Amino acid sequence: MLPNDPIDLKILKILKTDSRLSNKEIGKLVHRTGQAVGSRIARMQDEGTIQKYTITLQNQSTQFIRVMMQTNEFERFEAFIAQFESIESCYKVCGSACYMLVAHFDSHAINLFIEQLSEWGQYSVDSVVRAIETQP
C-alpha cells in the first residue's frame, strides 16, 4: 500500500526513476537530510511498501500470454513455466484465464514455446507493438 505522506511519495517516485541515487542525493531533491531519507526508506522497506530494487532491461519483444488450462495440474504447469528464462512473470489469475504470463520470446522461440504450451490448454498471445511511457 502506498503511503499518504507527500515526502514518502516523492522518495518513491525518485527511487522508481533511479534507485542508484544515494540518500544524500535524494535528500537534496526532497529537502531533507540523507539520514532522514534513509530512515524513511528503511521504514517503507519494513512495512513492505518497498519490496525490492530492480533494473529494467530493454527487450526486443514482449508478449502477454493468457493460458486457459484443460486440467488442474497447476503445480506441474508452474514447473513447466519455470524452465523458460524468457518468461519474466507468471501470475495465477481468476477471470477469463488461469494464468497470465509476461514473456520476451523472439519470433522463433515463441513458436517453439507455443507448440509446448498447447499441450496444457488453450492460450492467447498479445504482442506489444509500442510501449507507452507513463508517469513514474
- Go through the domains of the chain in sequence order and give each one's CATH number: 6-47 (1.10.10.10), 63-127 (3.30.70.920)
Confidence class for position 133, pLDDT limits 50, 70, 90: confident
Burial class of 100 by CB neighbour count within 10 A (0 to 12, 13 to 18, 19+): middle
Q: 116 or 2, which is more confident?
A: 116
Q: What DSSP element (H or E) covers 127?
A: strand 121-127
The amino acid at residue 58 is Q
Q: Give the pLDDT confidence score for residue 54 in this predicted structure.
A: 80
Strands of the sheet with 99-103, listed across from one edge: 87-92, 99-103, 63-69, 121-127
Assess contact for 67 and 123: CB atoms under 8 A: yes
pTM tops 0.75, yes or no: no
How confident is the model over 77-130, as pLDDT tens digits?
999 999 999 999 999 999 999 999 999 999 899 999 999 999 999 999 999 999
Mean pLDDT across the chain: 92
Place of cell 507527500: 6
Confidence class for position 135, pLDDT limits 50, 70, 90: low
Q: Give the pLDDT confidence score for residue 53 in this predicted structure.
A: 85
Nearest-CA neighbor of 56 among 90, 17, 12? Answer: 17
